Copies of this chain bind each other. A is one copy, B any other.
């Protein structure tokens, strides 16, 4: 039997909104340690990894490992019926082919339960090795979202270049070119407004803006985003979920024709 109770139910709503643009169907994996998901986007270019640790739930019971296949748009339809202050409980009986979402209003006057059929989804779990990155940028998530959106009105790809001084986002398109530089800045009033760069060596990589924009759907989950870059690895765009876990997006850099020149 599975029973997960999350007092801050709006968090689950935000998680769904963060990934459903990228992923249509996916398996949610439940084990004693937590609730997780790993899925490729439909064009098999980007990877999403979600973890909500069991300690973060008010009540967490998972008698045996369970993989529940769901259509994320349908889950989202159901979760959108939860109030922002509702407590959400996810329930599944062993061997059942359904999952139940229960929403309780804070004063317990309104109780809703939504039952959904589970799906069989083939998926292989990719092992993601820990890696050393040439540069790690931590910046306000809303700033990163704004930059990706702004550059999309000019071009299709973004070149992210990191130096000790700051991180530069560049693009080019039919109407012109754009460069946005965010300087390293640790001395701000609020720590979540800092832009902090940990750099082993300068790095400059090109990515499709379309995917970056999809990743920024996770912005409501965290005030900061961490971008980890290395020349020979997919970028990791990570949004921490307070005291519970994270959503991580992985995307391989584009090989630009210019890069092939000696």
Residues of B within 8 A of A153 (CB): 77-78, 80-81
Instruction: Write the nearest CB–CB distance from A184 to chain B, whole angstroms.
Output: 9
Instruction: Write the nearest CB–CB distance from A109 to chain B, whole angstroms.
Output: 5
Checking B107, B109, B114, B178 against A112 with a beta-carbon cut-off of 8 angstroms, the contacting residue is: B178
Q: Complex formed: what's the CA distance from A175 to B74 in Å?
A: 7
Given A77-B153, A154-B78, A110–B181 Cβ distance below 8 Å? yes
In residues 125-170 of chain A, which contact B (Cβ within 8 Å)? 143, 150-151, 153-154
Interface residue A121 (Cβ < 8 Å from any Cβ of B): no
Q: Complex formed: what's the CA distance from A74 to B98 in Å?
A: 49
CB-based contact B74/A114 at 8 Å: no
Interface residue A27 (Cβ < 8 Å from any Cβ of B): no
Checking B150, B177, B185 against A109 with a beta-carbon cut-off of 8 angstroms, the contacting residue is: B185
In residues 31-80 of chain A, which contact B (Cβ within 8 Å)? 71, 74, 77-78, 80
CB-based contact A179/B77 at 8 Å: no
Instruction: Write the nearest CB–CB distance from A54 to chain B, whole angstroms.
Output: 26
Q: Complex formed: what's the CA distance from A182 to B110 in Å?
A: 5
Copies in the complex: 3
CB-based contact A178/B78 at 8 Å: yes
> Which residue on chain B has the smallest CB distance to residue A110?
B182
CB-based contact A114/B80 at 8 Å: no
CB-based contact A181/B81 at 8 Å: no
CB-based contact B150/A180 at 8 Å: no
> Which residue on chain B has the smallest CB distance to residue A180?
B112
Q: Complex formed: what's the CA distance from A112 to B80 in Å?
A: 37
* Other contacts beyond A109-B183, A114-B176, A117-B175: 11, CB < 8 A: A80-B150, A109-B182, A110-B143, A110-B182, A110-B183, A111-B183, A112-B181, A114-B178, A115-B176, A116-B175, A117-B176
Going nearest first, the 5 A-B pairs with the smallest beta carbon separation are A81-B150, A116-B176, A112-B180, A74-B175, A77-B153
What are 12 contact pairs spanning A and B, CB under 8 A? A74-B175, A78-B176, A81-B153, A109-B182, A110-B143, A112-B180, A113-B178, A115-B176, A115-B177, A115-B178, A116-B176, A117-B176
